[in-house]
Amino acid sequence: MTDKIRKTDEEWRAQLTPEQFNICRKRGTEPAFSGEFASFKGDGEYTCVCCGNTLFRSADKFDSGTGWPSFMAPAAPHAVEEKHDTSHGMIRTEVVCARCDAHLGHVFPDGPPPTGMRYCINSVCLEFVRAGKNAPS
C-alpha cells in the first residue's frame, strides 16, 4: 500500500460532486436502488472515486437485493480497511478506502459463500474500469 492521501475538506470539495463529498468524506449514504452500480453488470474493476485505488472486482459482485452494489470480498486484502461504527444507534463495521479513508459503506456477515461477507457499497463512491481498459467507463 502506498502512503495515505490526505487533503483538506476544501480540496476534496473541489474534486468531488456535492453528493460524493457528503458520502465519501462525511460518511453519508445514498438511497437504496438509486446508485448506478446497484444492478450494473460489467467485467472489470471498481475503483475509489476519490483516489483511484482498486477496491472491488466484478467477479466478486453479487445481487444482494439491498439496493446497493454488494461484493463478497475486496479486490486485495489491503484495498479497504474496516472500522467499528456505532452511528445511528447501530453497531456495524464501516468500510473505507485504505488509501484515502473515503467512506464506502459497510460490511455484514450475511453474504454468499465462499466468504460469507457482504460489502454493501455506495455507488457514488465508485468508478468502473472495464476489463482491458485503462480509463473509467
pLDDT, tens digit, 9 for 90 and up, residues 94-110? 999 999 999 999 999 99
- Is 136 a residue whose pLDDT tops 80? no
- Does residue 79 lie in a domain region? yes
Average model confidence (pLDDT) across the chain: 93
| Res 133: pLDDT | 66
Residues spanned by the domain of 19 = 9-130
- Domain assignment present for residue 135? The answer is no
CATH code of 66's domain: 2.170.150.20
Q: Is residue 1 part of a domain?
A: no
Catalytic positions, please? 120
Confidence (pLDDT) at 88: 76
Check whether 79 has a pLDDT greater than 80.
Answer: yes
Share of the chain residues as helix, strand and coil, in percent rounded to the nearest 5: 20, 30, 55
Contact in structure between 98 and 92 (CB atoms under 8 Å) = no
* pTM of structure: 0.91
pLDDT classification of 3: cutoffs 50, 70, 90: confident
Domain count, the chain: 1
